Amino acid sequence: MKNVAIVTGGARGIGLAITKRLIESNYIVIVSDILEGLVDTEKIENSDCHYFKCDITKKNDIIQLFNFVKATFDKIDLLVNNAGIIKDNMIWNMPEEDFDKVIDVNLKGTWLMCKQAAIMMKAQNFGRIVNISSRAWLGNKGQSNYSASKAGVIGLTRVLALELGKYNICVNAVAPGLINTPLTQNLKPDVLESLINAQPTNNIGQPEDVANAVMFLGSEITKFITGQVIYVDGGKSISSNMF
């Protein structure tokens, strides 16, 4: 049987690119998102692409998702925790609820998904989990909520690598930098330009760049790589951008 993957937040942006990359590589993909489905222009005409509406902050949604996967495919080879949100502001202007919401989706939602995946993968003695963190975990002004959530994702990744390693389950993270998606297309043009100018490669990454790293970490050949972070950021993580 083909490999089976879940991609959270797969309806658009990076998650959609990951979904397409996995389908090309012969995976069955269950796309889960809070949206009603993929936007029409991006519909994937392939019977290996399934859509399951699931809010990763809701434990019951997640349990239903895993019940569906178990009943339909009886296995899960790969979980890609990609769903994430931003609500940027300097800390003195940040409403407490914007801190809670970002932590709830980016960190707790990822933890809830990992928990159900770990139960199923441990029972089958195989699995791969790839968590989408962000280069911003190193610190970005205006992102105290987001950077903290993505740093938490890396801590979570490292702990799960320790806990699940002996069950043939590898858990790794990908930390994208500036990537061209609906999330970054909402930035003011002058802000986007200055961010691009601060890149060592002087450009913006594409969702497919992230998808390629996920494909590598999610595959069976990476059985001796776990608890690691791969940056897909045009080199931005190499040094501080203060100058």
Q: Catalytic residue numbers?
A: 146
- The answer to whether 11 and 38 have CB atoms below 8 angstroms apart is yes
Question: C-alpha angle 233/236/240, rounded to 5°?
Answer: 155
**Cα–Cα distance, 62 to 54 (Å, whole number):** 6
Task: Choose between 57 and 228: whose C-beta lies nearer to ligand NAD.
Answer: 57
Q: How many residues does the chain have?
A: 243
Shortest spacing between CB 9 and ligand NAD, in angstroms: 3
Strands (E) in 122-183, as ranges, are 127-132, 169-176
Alpha helices (runs of H) in 165-238, residue ranges in sequence order: 182-185, 189-197, 207-218
Place of tokens 């914007």: 98
Q: What angle do CA 5, 48, 62 make, to 5 degrees?
A: 40
Integer Rg of the chain from CA: 17
For residue 52, the minimal CB distance to ligand NAD (Å) is 10
Residues forming the site for ligand NAD (CB under 6 A)? 8-9, 11-15, 33-35, 55-57, 82-85, 105, 109, 132, 134, 176, 178-179, 181-184
Closest approach of Cβ 146 to ligand NAD, in Å?
7
C-beta of 140: minimal distance to ligand NAD in Å? 10
Q: Which tokens in the block code for residue 168?
A: 């043939």
